[in-house]
Amino acid sequence: MKDGSIANAGKFTDPHVTADGSTRATVALSDPQTLWFNTGTLCNIACTNCYIESSPTNDALVYITAAEVQDYLDQLEQRNWGVSEIGFTGGEPFMNPEMIEMARACLERGYEVLILTNAMAPMMRPKVKDGLIGLQRDFGSRLTLRISVDHWSAAMHDTERGTGAFEKTLRGMRWLRDQGIQMAVAGRTVWDETDAQSRDGYAALYEREGFAIDAANPATTMLFPEMDEAAEVPEITTDCWGILKKSPESVMCASSRMVVKRKGAARPAVLACTLLPYDPEFEMGETLEEAERDVSLNHPHCAKFCVLGGASCSG
């Protein structure tokens, strides 16, 4: 992990300078587009490589409430962030008993809503299904469910999520299809296949199942790498923007923040990044106003996933 990684020993320790004394890059909240809520880390399953360690027993992040979500929606209006989308992630969001109420509150204020889900048993409870039908009836395509389908084949998907998980997820997706609820998919790139091969596999799955999802579009079929904090990555300096010909505005923390509720905490907190739910360095305060400050790119994830994308800024 961050302070125990042999690969990155000596790196990512100072928020202001890198290991070689260079000025560390920072990112300003320049164009806020998405406010994320973590609904809680409890999940109906425990995946092999879950970055947030969600499981049926992990309640490190407890259920956020509809009242707390409403408070942050009020803050969005007060701060004039210009956010267009509210995202919900977990854990499994549909384990939170107020998930439908939270989604409706956001939709009623005019936001697009994105819910990340495995589409398994928590989503398929009668009360939740009734709630989703109501949201679809009232708000249509402003609601999207992004389904976790780690691989287009049952065998590979089930290596991550357990025997039978693939079919259970497909069962939920078929129900969503039949209700006309808009879907996207999140998969993984850890398999021994090219991006094109992966997308061809998803395209065949979608065609077979009649899912109206574009496999070629990265916005609707998103393929994520594993988040290995021990992987060797370079630190990002202020010079990297010019070397990489990349703008700080393209990095996720320039356009989003995430709200979490820690176990035992009196109030939720705002984090700089959805990928770093437990690192105290990336907790920015309890309010959106506090979360408007710049983010120092002082973590391997900042380099590997948000800046480099396979490039190198070494020269």
Q: Is the pLDDT of residue 5 over 70?
A: no
Averaged pLDDT of the chain = 92
Q: Other C-beta atoms within 10 Å of 247: how many?
A: 11
Tens-digit pLDDT profile for residues 67-120: 999 999 999 999 999 999 999 999 999 999 999 999 999 999 999 999 999 999
Task: Read off the CATH number of the domain in which 111 is found.
Answer: 3.20.20.70
Identify whether 229 is part of a domain: no
- 114 domain-assigned: yes
| pTM greater than the 0.85 cutoff | yes
User: What span, in angstroms and rounded, lies between the C-alpha atoms of 148 and 119?
Assistant: 8
Q: Is the pLDDT of residue 315 over 50?
A: no
DSSP one-letter code for 234:
P
DSSP state of 273: -
Indicate whether 302 and 217 sit together in one domain. Answer: no
- Nearest partner of 174 among 205, 203, 152, judged by Cα: 205
* Same domain for 18 and 164: no
Q: Say if CB 179 and CB 211 are below 8 A apart.
A: no
274 domain residue, yes or no? yes
The answer to whether residue 2 scores a pLDDT higher than 60 is: no
Based on the fold, state whether residues 110 and 155 are members of the same structural domain.
yes
Q: Which domain holds residue 6?
A: 1-29+234-245+297-315
Same domain, yes or no: 141 and 282: yes
Buried b (16+ CB within 10 A) or exposed e, 197-206: ebbebbbebb
Domain match, 59 and 5 both: no
Residue type, 53: E
